[in-house]
Amino acid sequence: MDAMVNLLVELDARFDADARARALRTLDAAGYTCDTSERADERTLAWIDETFGGTWSGETAAGSAYVARRDGAPVGFAAFDARGLHFAWLRGLGTRDGVGIFGPFGVAPEHRGRGVGAALLTLALCALRARGYAQALIPAVGGDPLIAYYARACGAFVIEHFDLASFTPRPVRTVVMASGSGSNFQAVIDRVREGLPLDLTALVCNKRQAYAIERARGAGIEAVVLPWDRATRSRAQYDAELCAAVAACAPEMILLLGWMHLLDRTFVETFPELINVHPAYLPLDGSRNEVGMPDGSTIPAFRGAHAIGDALAAKSPWVGVSVHLVTLETDRGPILARKPLRVRADEAEATLMERVHAIEHHLVIAGIRRRLFER
């Protein structure tokens, strides 16, 4: 769905202190509690990723949120007043004084139809009014049913029409770097064929027998095979050759899809648009070494080349996938998308990896799309 709208809500007396009190009473009468701290905790953020696809926790953490709970577990949330987001559709009305941003917003399917969503929506809009905003922007809404819902629930009206394709008027020159079978590479190839605006210029591979090479050739993409012969080249020599080979492709974006060679400082600084897929659920705060999960537990942030094996060795009940920008600190760059995955009892590593790969194939596309709309 590429046709989208921005909606606007007038924050008038409908969203005063009395409206806030009524919304809280509605939740209480239906058997729900509501966090009034206006912040989403780590458990809620992980639940949002598990329930709603993997891209909303970062947006929610950028601002405030009301969270509805049943027996202590999150069942719905409404985020508002996000700061520092760079989506293309926020660059107009979303930057004006007096306009607050609403969303993301969601209720677990089994708790819909009970007034939870309407109450959370009202609470968030009341909070924006209390903070001095005169209007609320509900951005990037797609589909007539959702537009009609907001019109009924809060009087929202369409203020801007746009097409997502307009934000990437030409495909972005992209190099993929992979060392293995390239199943994530194939997922990207398939979505490019369906309209994802990338120009897959080349595959760079450091393993001669990697099946990713066959995938590139099958798609008509140049394959640059550059293994490291440790007997004839130092690490510094290989890294310089690798950087030169990628630079020759003139990429605007680089996707690390199963690339198993640590990139040096020169490479990372030369190509700032580096996106990596990592098989672990990483914290939004890259300085942290642990991360909260949807059940309220906390696990280590499994960074490095053996994340799944490390998680199983530690008997972690959770693993996951994160798509992030690459920085000089390994697996600590800004998160674009992430999703947790519960480990089954006595699950073998091979079986778990299959389930992780299935999430990767979806999440890498979500992360790429987010980055395209933020560039």
| Alpha carbon 350 to its chain's center | 25
pLDDT reported for residue 132:
97
87 to each of 23, 45, 65, 375, how far by Cα in Å? 30, 20, 19, 8
For domain 3-166, the CATH superfamily is Gcn5-related N-acetyltransferase (GNAT) (3.40.630.30)
Residue 50 half-sphere exposure, CB side, CA atoms within 13 Å?
22
0.85 exceeded by the pTM?
yes
Q: Which residue has the tokens 């596309």?
A: 365
Relative to beta strand 198-205, strand 172-178 is parallel
Q: Hey, where are the domains in the chain?
A: 3-166, 170-374
- Mean pLDDT for the stretch of residues 47-74: 96
Query: Is the per-residue pLDDT at 1 higher than 60?
Result: no
Indicate whether 69 pLDDT > 70: yes
Determine the residue type at 60.
T
Mean pLDDT of 331-359: 95
Report, as an integer, the average pLDDT of 43-67.
96
**What is the architecture of the domain spanning 170-374?**
3-Layer(aba) Sandwich (3.40)
Residue owning tokens 């190839």: 189
Strand partners, 74: 69
